[in-house]
Homo-oligomer: A and B are copies of this chain.
Amino acid sequence: MKKKLTINDIAAQANVSKTTVSRFLNHKYDNMSEATKNKIAQTIEASGYQPNRQAQTLKTASTHTIGVSVADLSNLYTSRLLKGISTFLHQTKYQMIIMDADNNLQREQNNLQVLLNENIDGLIIQPLAHHPDNYQIIQDNALPTIQVDRYVEPFTWPAVVSDNFQKSVEVAQLLEKNNFKHVIIISNSITGISSRMNRVQGITSHLQSIDISYELLEIENSNDWQIQLQFKIKESSKKVAIYALNSQVLWPIMRVLKASNLKVPQDVGVIGFNDDDLADLVAPGITAIEQQPILIGETATQQLIDNLNQHKSNTDITRIKSKIEIRNSL
């Protein structure tokens, strides 16, 4: 193992003081002779010296690390969000520390405390809770923060999310056009999750205005939702469609329909959010909303870094466009 070199070693080898080396490292060439500059450059090059990040941090109080708190690490939406963040960060001097809240409020709190202890320069959070009071700790530490996918209310930090409301209005219009008369909106827990709430608000606002009936099925609150769903569809006298608020419910729904021999779209229409890119392969081809999680991640990261660098300080909600892919399930 190579012995770790320090700034002192370089200073000694280059016959200058460590102050000068430090200046070189930080590109403060204001008044530095070409000679010394070259000499230092050479010895650093030759030795492969790398400054110690922790020592720099201790002195400058900037870790060049940003924290990322995600709701659940193990799904493709998250994965792509992270890809976007990583892609943007790659061209900066920042690293990321990712923490998984695992959909657990207590764990999310712990994670934030850990991130704070790490002295992160900024935070990207996909919040589990809906009220900023849950994140007092962020405010107390005046931590530069940006939200992704969801946001707390009242408004506290900028956010980058999908165009959930607007796209859900379009879903309603599409259902109307296809003559559906009743809509079952299905989601896992909605309470406090702005993206899902916005989706419900979007579709219901339009359905109400055109007199199409609807109901909400929150499947985390029920153990027999599969039975209920079959029953609702089979007993309905109206032409019924399902709006699945995310892929975590869309695929289980498709399994239920398949198992109970309900044909799509003959017996029931289906539209939902497709986070796995396989909606085209699931028979009969599911009409689905495609979000842009990578772009959300990139955009959020850019805004956060810009904010840290004082280039500007965005404080708004940015809505990233998603797209409805028409297939054969309506």
Contacts and interface: CB of A to CB of B under 8 A. Distances in A.
A23 interface: no
Contact of A53 (B102, B117, B140, B283): B117
Oligomer copy total: 2
A307 interface: no
Given A1-B140, A76-B75, A278 B276 contact: yes
A264 B77 CA distance: 30
Nearest to A252: B281
Given A140-B2, A278-B276, A119 B53 contact: yes
Interface stretch (A93-101, A191-199, A298-306): A93-101
Contacts of A76: 74-76, 79, 276
B74 A83 contact: yes
A299 to B, nearest CB: 16
B141 A1 contact: yes
B95 A73 contact: no
Given A95-B114, A97-B96, A258 B276 contact: no
Nearest to A48: B140
Contact of A73 (B1, B79, B140): B79
B82 A73 contact: yes
Interface string A85-126: 011001000011111101000010000011011110000000
A254 interface: yes
Nearest to A83: B74
Contact of A52 (B79, B119, B283): B119
A177 B140 CA distance: 66
Contacts of A50: 113, 116-117
A139 B59 CA distance: 30
16 contacts: A2-B140, A50-B117, A51-B117, A52-B119, A53-B117, A58-B58, A82-B98, A96-B98, A97-B97, A98-B98, A251-B281, A276-B276, A278-B281, A278-B282, A281-B281, A282-B282
Interface of A: 1-2, 50-55, 57-58, 63, 73-76, 78-80, 82-83, 86-87, 90, 95-100, 102, 107, 113-114, 116-119, 140-142, 251, 254-255, 258, 276-278, 280-283, 294
